[in-house]
Chain A
Amino acid sequence: MTDLRYEAPATLQAAVALLAGATGPARVLAGGTDVIVQMETDLIEPALLVDIKKIPEVRQITAENGGFRIGAAVPGMEIMSHAALNKAWPGVIDGVKLIGSIQVRGRASIGGNLCNGSPAADSVPALIAAGAIARIIGPNGTREAPVEAIPVGPGKTSLQKGEIIASFFLPARPANSGDAYQRFTPRTEMDIAVVGVGVNLMLDAGGTCTAARVALGAVAPTVLLVKEAADALIGSRLDEAALDKLAQAASAACRPIDDKRGTKEYRIKVAGVLAKRTAQQALERARTK
């Protein structure tokens, strides 16, 4: 890798051109907390790194239509300290807060967390539950896609050669709704999620759930958006019976592997337990909004 080329373009168009025109393996460099580790451990050997951190659009958080446009390369710590985001989407913040350590969050971005393609990525379930939309710039122009359309397998995304995620859109927080993300890890910090659950739900004025999205991480080749789990909540007041149904649906949706982080059996059980706890937390937040 002694001739690794590093470029730091100032515009998205320049970045796209570099990536589209790359002859050898090329990677986008945002926070670097996955790419650099993979280079260090010889998992990847890029010939070109395109550092996008000099491009303004990917480094800003701006208000848009009552919601938020978050640049794909904004460091986690900045997202965590954004007061309005914390208020509107605490579940998304929960996820970002769990990526690595404070040091890692000083660099790591939600764009990188998503595009690295780990099924256990902590920011992804809550983004999917929130209905976040990715804006993608590529050689053929700009397009939008829901976050759940991006990962296609471990380490793989649906992005074409030359495409970069520039930003994510999170809508305005509707009234009487709340989101949460919880994960199970053996230690309190610094672990990869054994199971991750993101729940976003909406209540009517009487406290009945009218809409829900439940996303599961680390239990399948990609993060799963589980309709049956959401259906278990919709129309209910999140009583014990509904939560049990939710837990069963969550466990049933799992297609996990056995690895050094957890067994299949364990992940399936804990997915159900966590789905309940996460839904309860989302409910509390919905009630106080």
Chain B
Amino acid sequence: MATILEKSGFNPDKKLKIVGTSPVKHDGIDKVTGRAKFGADLYLPGMLVGKILRSPHPHARIKSIDISAAEKLPGVKAVVTRADFPEIKAGTPDGDMTRNAMAREKALYDGHPVAAVAATSESIAKAALKLIKVDYEILPHVIDPVEAMKPTAPILHEHVRTKGVKGADQPTNVIERLDLAMGDADAGFKEADVIVEHEYDTKPMHQGYIEPQGCVATCTEDGQIELWCCTQAPWVFRDRLSNILKIEAAKIRVQQSEMGGGFGGKTGFYGEPVAIQLARKAKRPVKIALTRNEVFRATGPVSGTKSRIKIGAKKDGTITAAEAELAFQTGAFTGSMFINAPQAMFTRYNLKNVKTVSYEVVSNRPKVNSFRAPCVPQVVFGVEGVIDELARKIGMDPIDFRLKNAATEGYKTIYGETFGPIGFVETLKAAKACDHYTSPVPPGQGRGVAAGFWFNRGGETTGTLNIAIDGSVTLILGTSDVAGSRISISMMAAEELGIPVDKVRAIMADTHSLGFNRVTAGSRTTFSTGMVIVDSARKAIAELCKRAAGLWGVPDDAVTFEDGYCKPAGANVGTFEPLSIAQIAAKTMATHGAIAGHSEMNVTGAGPGFGLHIVDVEVDQETGRADIKRYTVVEDAGKAIHPLQVEGQYQGGAVQGIGWALNEEYYYGEDGRLQNPSFLDYRMPVASDVPMIGTEIVEVPNPRHPYGLRGVGEVPVVPTMAAIANAIGQCIGVRPSSLPMSPPKLLKLIEEARAKRG
């Protein structure tokens, strides 16, 4: 299988007609009229309302479940429990997955599903839940990951032995210890003139997508399942559902709906397996739409962390060594992707000597999920603080210090990849020259900068391009469109074919219509699906040329394609009027068949992304409240296919980071229950909390992609909290080391600093 276009055809001098403009996205009209159908927007005849009964205890053995009274309630058509889910061994990936969907031996967090009903109305379903009797044996619980690491902590899974630790033979909550290093950090520190070391902690938070998960499942009499759901991973959902429900994959058809935000949180399923089992039992379609309370309590939040970070540098600014010790909480089951942290946290600097130790720890909270750049922003919060402090101690401008240490093409990373052309230096230079950075800091405010990196991914991708008899084009796309990649991909198809983008329409396919597509993650969608559709377009173009050759009676290789027309390759071929796509389709489709291109690739060649954020903050010194006064995101997009979309990614990531930085956190009570499962007390930024977000798109193309693009979705949230913390540090005299930097915490720091000054 191809992994990349052999000849990407990337040409920096090529005059592009469509790529680089910002047409109205084709899926926009349905979204501004309310027509677009999201996860909870499907209605089927006979559809039942599904509701889930959830454990109120953070840790409990489930001794028995009595559903008899619930089943008898008029209007109830099915009740399911663990008895309705196939037995799968605990401690395996499928075993974890089925247990997260429906508890088996134990309830492991407040909100863990233990049973579910399908009924003819919501009020009947809710009444039925109240009739289910669950006999719990309440167990001691542990929430905090540092507490969970202690040998005396209540153990969640008897089978867990710490991976990566020799001789680990006792049950523990520490899933894994990961050592990742390069060079000789100890020697490197000896060469340093200045060393800065701090400890940091970040609270768990949530992606906060506005659309709660919603799905509708149907099952036919012969066992065909259709699942409509909002998802970042239709094929992954299908295959995992196939595994845990023991249904053949081809009998499950997952149709992705429009998705109201995912950011990584919709890469795993929650209500979907439950809806399917209810539908199979009730023999009617079942809709499960989670409430916001359920979303906070029982979908995958974002890892909280504890870290110790140490970096040393010479007085000329060269970093000589970096070290980190990190702990990530993963909730009730493993799967935090914490490996990203040691791989990415220092990667952008030209470091030779790095030593990291990372731990993943379970505790009685829902299993975490990604939030753009999983596990990395939390530790960059610390790294970029240490970098900043080193710069100040040495007396260098913070951007100059980063420039001095910037990685460039040819740098070999700690995870083994050698960088091709990258744009970190260009991004730093653009930041240094931009209006924000060159304007004086307004009186009473503080300015901070921070840098970020993301690998950007490729991965398994499929797609099809079909040409209709009038020359208009349809695309079948698989990788979920979280924010608008559809239009960018349509633009690349139009550019390849030399036709207006309005002649191209894309659909988001179901799992029957295409082969496997990997999850929408890693900022891979526009890059990978673009690659696959360009490949498909080129295959279609080859077929068009063959048809033209047939019409002209010349050899296939005597025909070329340019700007939407098949033309003779040279004057010696003969004089033939160029034929448009529409003409060739009209003349040959009925006799010679469809003209299409199709592609499966395990895409490689994604180019890393880099960003530098600049923020001005004002802190009310009597209350500790921080206000963001000005924000600029400078980031390398390789090539901005659709500049307004790229700006949107930068701005959205920045504001998510503002919330993460200032106010967003999970509060747990002594009883292990989540205290703020609502948008009232889970405080995401509102429109009046933030200013306009300035953006500078840097373009250092990735030549392995036909249009030079790099993924942009994840980098914007990586340096945000660090930049804000650095700015707050300038305002109050001490740089916070704990997220979120809520007013009470800042007021405490302000008072401590004041007391120190005497």
> Direct A–B touching in the complex (beta carbon < 8 Å)?
yes
Interface residues of A (CB under 8 A from B): 1-2, 41, 184, 186-192, 259-263, 265-266, 269-270, 273
B671 to chain A, nearest CB (A): 14
| Number of interchain pairs (Cβ within 8 Å) | 52
Among A41, A186, A265, the one with the most B-chain Cβ atoms within 10 Å of its Cβ is A186
Residues 118-151 of chain B, each 1 if its beta carbon lies under 8 Å from chain A, else 0: 0000011001000000000000000000000000
Tell me the bound Cα distance from A190 to B685 in angstroms. 10
Are A270's CB and B686's CB within 8 A? no
Residues 681-722 of chain B, each 1 if its beta carbon lies under 8 Å from chain A, else 0: 101011011000000000000000000000000000000000
B747 on the interface (CB 8 Å rule)?
Answer: yes
Main secondary structure, interface of A, reads loop
Query: Which residue of A2, A187, A266, A273 contacts B689 across the interface (Cβ within 8 Å)?
Result: A187
Residues 7-22 of chain B, each 1 if its beta carbon lies under 8 Å from chain A, else 0: 0000000000000000
Q: Which residue of A lies closest to B684 (CB)?
A: A187
Interface residues of B (CB under 8 A from A): 123-124, 127, 293, 622-623, 625, 662-663, 667, 675-676, 678-681, 683, 685-686, 688-689, 742-744, 747
Are A41's CB and B623's CB within 8 A? no
Contacts of B679 in A (CB 8 A): 190
Query: Which residue of A1, A186, A189, A265 contacts B663 across the interface (Cβ within 8 Å)?
Result: A186
Are A260's CB and B681's CB within 8 A? yes
Tell me the bound Cα distance from A41 to B293 in angstroms. 9
Q: Which residue of A lies closest to B740 (CB)?
A: A186
Are A190's CB and B680's CB within 8 A? yes
Of the A-B pairs whose beta carbons lie under 8 Å apart in the complex, a sample of 30, sorted by A's number, is A1-B123, A2-B123, A2-B124, A2-B127, A41-B293, A184-B623, A184-B743, A186-B662, A186-B683, A186-B743, A187-B663, A187-B685, A187-B688, A188-B686, A188-B688, A190-B686, A191-B680, A191-B683, A192-B681, A259-B675, A260-B667, A261-B681, A262-B744, A265-B744, A266-B743, A266-B744, A266-B747, A270-B622, A273-B622, A273-B623
Contacts of A259 in B (CB 8 A): 675
Tell me the bound Cα distance from A262 to B743 in angstroms. 9
Q: Which residue of A lies closest to B745 (CB)?
A: A266
Contacts of B688 in A (CB 8 A): 187-189
Tell me the bound Cα distance from A261 to B623 in angstroms. 14
Are A186's CB and B124's CB within 8 A? no
Are A260's CB and B685's CB within 8 A? no
Query: Apart from A189-B686, A190-B679, A191-B683, what are 18 other A-B pairs with CB-CB below 8 Å?
Result: A2-B123, A41-B293, A184-B625, A186-B742, A186-B743, A187-B685, A188-B686, A188-B688, A189-B688, A189-B689, A190-B683, A192-B680, A260-B681, A261-B681, A266-B747, A270-B622, A270-B623, A273-B622
B451 to chain A, nearest CB (A): 28
Tell me the bound Cα distance from A263 to B747 in angstroms. 12
B474 to chain A, nearest CB (A): 40
Q: A184-B623, A187-B689, A269-B747 are in contact. Are A260 and B293 (CB under 8 A)?
A: no
Tell me the bound Cα distance from A204 to B659 in angstroms. 47
Tell me the bound Cα distance from A273 to B750 in angstroms. 15
Q: Which residue of B lies closest to A265 (CB)?
A: B744
Tell me the bound Cα distance from A278 to B124 in angstroms. 50
Are B675's CB and A260's CB within 8 A? yes
Are B127's CB and A188's CB within 8 A? no
* Top 5 A-B residue pairs of the complex, sorted by shortest distance between their CB atoms: A266-B744, A188-B688, A260-B667, A273-B622, A2-B123
Are B747's CB and A187's CB within 8 A? no
Contacts of B744 in A (CB 8 A): 262-263, 265-266
Tell me the bound Cα distance from A264 to B689 in angstroms. 25
Contacts of A2 in B (CB 8 A): 123-124, 127
Among A191, A263, A266, the one with the most B-chain Cβ atoms within 10 Å of its Cβ is A266
Contacts of B686 in A (CB 8 A): 187-190
Q: Which residue of A lies closest to B665 (CB)?
A: A260
Q: Which residue of A lies closest to B742 (CB)?
A: A186
Q: Which residue of B lies closest to A40 (CB)?
A: B291
Tell me the bound Cα distance from A251 to B675 in angstroms. 27
A163 to chain B, nearest CB (A): 29
Are B663's CB and A260's CB within 8 A? no
Q: Which residue of B lies closest to A100 (CB)?
A: B680
A216 to chain B, nearest CB (A): 15
Contacts of A41 in B (CB 8 A): 293, 678
Tell me the bound Cα distance from A260 to B681 in angstroms. 7
Q: Which residue of B lies closest to A41 (CB)?
A: B293
Tell me the bound Cα distance from A43 to B361 in angstroms. 34
Tell me the bound Cα distance from A31 to B663 in angstroms. 29
A143 to chain B, nearest CB (A): 34
Tell me the bound Cα distance from A191 to B685 in angstroms. 11
